[in-house]
Amino acid sequence: MKQASSRSTWLKAAGIGAAVAAAALWANRRGSYDLRGRVVLITGGSRGLGLVLARQAAAEGAKVAICARDADELERARQEVVDSGAAQVLTFVRDLADETAVRTLVSEVRQQLGPIDVLINNAGIITGGPLEHMDVRDYQETMDIHFWAALHAMYAVLPEMKKRREGRIINIASVGGKVSVPHLAPYCASKFALVGLSEGFRAELLRYGVYVTTVCPGLMRTGSARHAVVKGQHLLEFAWFMLSDSLPALTVSAEYAARQIWNAARRGDAELILGVPAKLISLLHGVAPGSVANLMSWVNRTLPDATGPAGDVRRRGFESESEVTDSWLTGLTRQAERDNNQLNNHPPYPA
């Protein structure tokens, strides 16, 4: 009896092991969607993850279009993507909070490069600070970029994708779109909205051969921390944000993230969660959302408290530097800044 029980246990363990191995093989397989000659439009493509995605697409022979608000940043990015091997790279200065700007962007890319095969909604902004210092503007801005800009872009590319019965749409959301994180209320609210939008489009577009992939990264070393907006106790808020972005064991590099995103898009995956911590917290939230919400309340107690009226002022991360954020502790993020076009002539600390 004991021997039979032991055999049953081993069989179950073997079955679980086989399932895990199969899942790993599925997750890592590259997929057969060839980017050579495809037209790829990446919003927020001048720096960070968007730029890395553009480089990798260019290296595979795609025709790439990127947009952002800063013309100088875009020109530097264009040269980098050309150096990656792109036959054609177009740049567009656009404010994606404007619906007309989004639709004309898609129209101009179509006229100059051809119908868009792959749309990556990557543009993003982030505002960190206690709830007491957030105002309606903070929520409106994040919704404009993360939700409305993505919606307008998808509607603009869909008619041709549906007609061809082929297309890829990649929406860069966040684990913050699955689990709300303290001091990031506007960001998380807008990313939750994007996740819901993306999953809804996925469900209705598969019948037309259009694959929508929702990407939910955890902490990534893109080098974007100093572009974030901070409120409250500015130095402390930026310090925890910058240090979190620099932890080697808990973060993934932008290059790794981009490779996984392209592989998921080739396979036509519905979702990609990046980083072990992000996968674990998402899984736990799915099983016990109330417990995770209570856990986040304890996390909140470790973060800087609200302050007086001065905390309502919006400051960029590079305006909130300290000895901690300018130390060896943030070396990985500093390297990502240099690698991913994030150094936009910011004044050095302590200016």
Give domain limits for the chain.
37-340
Q: Which of these, 285, 282, 215, lies nearest to 254 by C-alpha position?
A: 215
Q: Are 62 and 40 in contact (CB under 8 A)?
A: yes
How far the first Cα of the chain sits from its last, in Å, is 75
- pLDDT of 344: 64
Give catalytic status of residue 349 as yes or no: no
User: What is the residue-averaged pLDDT of the chain?
Assistant: 90
Q: Which of these, 142, 97, 287, 119, lies nearest to 198 by C-alpha position?
A: 119
Model confidence band, residue 16 (pLDDT cutoffs 50, 70, 90): very low
Model confidence band, residue 209 (pLDDT cutoffs 50, 70, 90): very high
- What's the rounded mean pLDDT across residues 342-348? 59
- pLDDT of 95: 95
Query: Does the pLDDT at position 208 exceed 50?
Result: yes
Q: Pairing between strand 271-274 and 210-217?
A: parallel
Among the options 155, 187, 211, 349, which is catalytic?
A: 187
Query: Does the pLDDT at position 346 exceed 70?
Result: no
Report residue 43: phi and psi, to 5°: -80, 145
- pLDDT of 21: 46
Report residue 350: phi and psi, to 5°: -105, 35
What does pTM read for this prediction? 0.89
CATH class for the domain made up of 37-340: alpha beta
